[in-house]
Amino acid sequence: MERGNERENTVSGSGLEQAFSLIDEADAVAFLQQLIAINSVNPPGNETAVAEAIRRRLTAAGIQAELDEVEPQRANLLAVLNKADASLSKKVLVLSGHLDTVPTGSIEWEHEPFGGVRVGNRLYGRGSTDMKGGVAAMVLAMEYLHRAGIRLGGTLRFAGTVGEEVDCLGAKAVASRGQIDDATAMVISEPSNNQPFIAHKGALWLEVATYGKTAHGSMPDQGVNAIMAMARFIHKLNSYRFSYQPHPLLGGPTMNIGVIQGGVKTNVVPDQCTMMLDIRTVPGQSHPEIIDGLNLLLEQVCEPANARFAIRAVNDLPAVTTAAEDAFIKLSLDTAKQYLGRESTVRGVNYYTDASVYGPRLDIPILIYGPGEPTMAHQPDEWIEVDKYMEAIRFYMGLAVAYLGISKDQ
């Protein structure tokens, strides 16, 4: 019954056609180019400049928007339509995206990384896909709805966060400060090529260290080689098996050794070796149990060699999933069909998002839907297709009206 009521809000009379008529491709592209031109590579981030550019745009349109500092030069951006209006329903839709990007890398780019160069249907630049394109589309969707005079029947929020590319710093601040605790549904505009993702893997990044004893390289029997201890641990990992139930959209977990460091000099027995493990988990897996299992393996290889060991979690984010049968997810598919003419099938994705922070706290349906091309994330000459960017603006506008409805006062 609830879904049927939501569906009625998507038909003619909603004012959406008037709002759609305000969409200006040249202006939308220029706004995205403005955001790309701001270097918010993380580390160090410096996302405040991006947040301020968005704040200026929204406040000029008459929308309440404010910066919330997380660290110096690192501020989240929070915006809202219809805040604290007693006449509204309790529905609160949160649009969310991060403001930082990964570094540009050492490979030379054909197009200036912060130039926002457009070539045909592609707009190039660091963050174009991941994920300033999604952020810009959400901001403009909110602006166009407001400028068209559409009075939503619920509350529409936008949360632009810092630090997602490293540790979800901004989302953790939003959560700890209770700034979106009233949310009843959320969309995160990570790159999905405008396809609906309803699940993503968790991330457990572990720093594993082995400790030995230095000695002269010509007398290795007088020392304890930490690198050899780590090598034995890596050999054990080859036969390590996770305990899990396969997820219908995500499959099983993965593990990657990303970094290994040890030793100081050729003729010195190394007394320390460190390794970084990137483990991607699926719903139902216990991160503490994984750490306990790896600790047991380390004990088996280190104790016989008189080596010591330690494990430290440097990133610990759970997997996230929303049921395909959820009313909000079904409404999202209906919206894509109605306004984009596209039949969609729900999917899962291996990367993590700020949903790992929000999901366990809020227990609400979360949709990952963004215009960026997932395979271009973190790549040199990163690009976004302009038509997908424009489609996303329409989708976010349509979904806001479909989910929140139109105020009876309008």
Confidence of residue 6 (pLDDT cuts 50, 70, 90): very low
Listed residues 302, 317, 332: the one ending a domain: 317
Spell out the residues 6+ positions from residue 203 whose beta carbon is closer than 8 angstroms to its own: 278, 279, 280, 281, 315, 316, 317, 352, 356
What is the predicted pLDDT for the residue at 12?
41
Enter the tokens of residue 342.
Answer: 């596209």
Residues 214 and 179 in one domain: no
Query: Any idea how long the chain is?
Result: 410
Range with the lowest mean pLDDT among 81-95, 195-209, 300-314, 386-400?
Answer: 81-95
- pLDDT tens, residue by residue, 355-365: 999 999 999 99
Residues 158 and 212 in one domain: no
Could you tell me what percent of the chain has a pLDDT over 70?
95
With tokens 């912060």, the residue in question is 114
User: What gap in Å lies between CA 408 and CA 410, rounded to an integer?
Assistant: 5
User: Is residue 311's pLDDT more than 80?
Assistant: yes
- Choose between 410 and 381: higher pLDDT: 381
User: What gap in Å lies between CA 363 and CA 376, rounded to an integer?
Assistant: 30
From residue 384, give the alpha-carbon distance in Å to each of 189, 217, 342, 349, 396.
13, 53, 19, 19, 17
Residues 185 and 312 in one domain: no
Residues 59 and 178 in one domain: yes
Is residue 34 situated within a structural domain?
yes
- The CATH number of the domain where 241 resides is what? 3.30.70.360
- CA 34 from centre of chain: 21
Enter the tokens of residue 84.
Answer: 């604290």
User: What gap in Å lies between CA 337 and CA 149, rounded to an integer?
Assistant: 25
Beta carbons of 49 and 127 less than 8 angstroms apart = no
- Give the predicted TM-score (pTM) of the model: 0.91
User: What gap in Å lies between CA 59 and CA 391, rounded to an integer?
Assistant: 24
Beta carbons of 359 and 318 less than 8 angstroms apart = yes
User: What gap in Å lies between CA 184 and CA 366, rounded to an integer?
Assistant: 9
Could you tell me what percent of the chain has a pLDDT over 90?
92
Spell out the residues 6+ positions from residue 18 whose beta carbon is closer than 8 angstroms to its own: 148, 149
What is the predicted pLDDT for the residue at 14?
54
Is residue 254 situated within a structural domain?
yes
Is residue 283 situated within a structural domain?
yes
Enter the tokens of residue 265.
Answer: 């000099």
User: What gap in Å lies between CA 74 and CA 48, rounded to an integer?
Assistant: 5
User: What gap in Å lies between CA 176 and CA 70, rounded to an integer?
Assistant: 11
Listed residues 282, 317, 352: the one ending a domain: 317
Residues 257 and 387 in one domain: no
User: What gap in Å lies between CA 112 and CA 100, rounded to an integer?
Assistant: 18
Residues 96 and 236 in one domain: no
- pLDDT tens, residue by residue, 118-147: 999 999 999 999 999 999 999 999 999 999
Residues 378 and 295 in one domain: no
User: What gap in Å lies between CA 284 and CA 318, rounded to an integer?
Assistant: 9
- DSSP-H helix ranges across 191-326: 226-237, 287-302
What is the predicted pLDDT for the residue at 69?
98
Strands 155-161, 92-98: parallel, antiparallel or unpaired by DSSP? parallel
Is residue 271 situated within a structural domain?
yes
Q: Measure the CA angle with vertex 172, ends 169 and 178; round to 5°.
A: 145
Q: Measure the CA angle with vertex 19, ends 13 and 25; round to 5°.
A: 150
Residue 101 DSSP code: B
Beta carbons of 284 and 301 less than 8 angstroms apart = no
What integer best gives the mean pLDDT of the chain?
94
Residues 167 and 217 in one domain: no
Q: What is the total count of domains within the chain? A: 2
How many other CB atoms sit within 10 Å of the CB of residue 256? 9
With tokens 């896909």, the residue in question is 129
User: Is residue 268's pLDDT more than 90?
Assistant: yes
Strand partners, 199: 321, 348
User: What gap in Å lies between CA 138 and CA 372, rounded to an integer?
Assistant: 13
Is residue 409 situated within a structural domain?
no
- pLDDT tens, residue by residue, 70-86: 999 999 999 999 865 66
Residues 49 and 118 in one domain: yes
Q: What is the amino acid identity at position 42?
A: N
User: What gap in Å lies between CA 200 and CA 316, rounded to an integer?
Assistant: 14
What is the predicted pLDDT for the residue at 402?
96
Nearest of 78, 82, 29, 72 to residue 51 by alpha carbon:
78
- pLDDT tens, residue by residue, 88-128: 789 999 999 999 999 999 999 999 999 999 999 999 999 99
- pLDDT tens, residue by residue, 269-298: 999 999 999 999 999 999 999 999 999 999
Is residue 175 situated within a structural domain?
yes
Instruction: Provide the residue range defining the domain that includes 367.
Output: 2-200+319-404
What is the predicted pLDDT for the residue at 89?
80
Is residue 343 situated within a structural domain?
yes
The gap between the terminal CA atoms of the chain, to the nearest Å, is 23
Listed residues 283, 317, 351: the one ending a domain: 317
Residues 69 and 218 in one domain: no
Strands 155-161, 74-81: parallel, antiparallel or unpaired by DSSP? antiparallel
Confidence of residue 13 (pLDDT cuts 50, 70, 90): very low
Residues 88 and 165 in one domain: yes
Confidence of residue 65 (pLDDT cuts 50, 70, 90): very high
Residues 211 and 298 in one domain: yes
User: Is residue 409's pLDDT more than 80?
Assistant: no
Residue 321 DSSP code: E
User: What gap in Å lies between CA 348 and CA 137, rounded to an integer?
Assistant: 22
- The CATH number of the domain where 107 resides is what? 3.40.630.10
Enter the tokens of residue 283.
Answer: 């719903």
- pLDDT tens, residue by residue, 161-197: 999 999 999 999 999 999 999 999 999 999 999 999 9
User: Is residue 1's pLDDT more than 70?
Assistant: no
Is residue 410 situated within a structural domain?
no
Beta carbons of 385 and 373 less than 8 angstroms apart = yes
- pLDDT tens, residue by residue, 215-231: 999 999 999 999 999 99
Enter the tokens of residue 42.
Answer: 């993380």
Strand partners, 406: 152
What is the predicted pLDDT for the residue at 408?
73
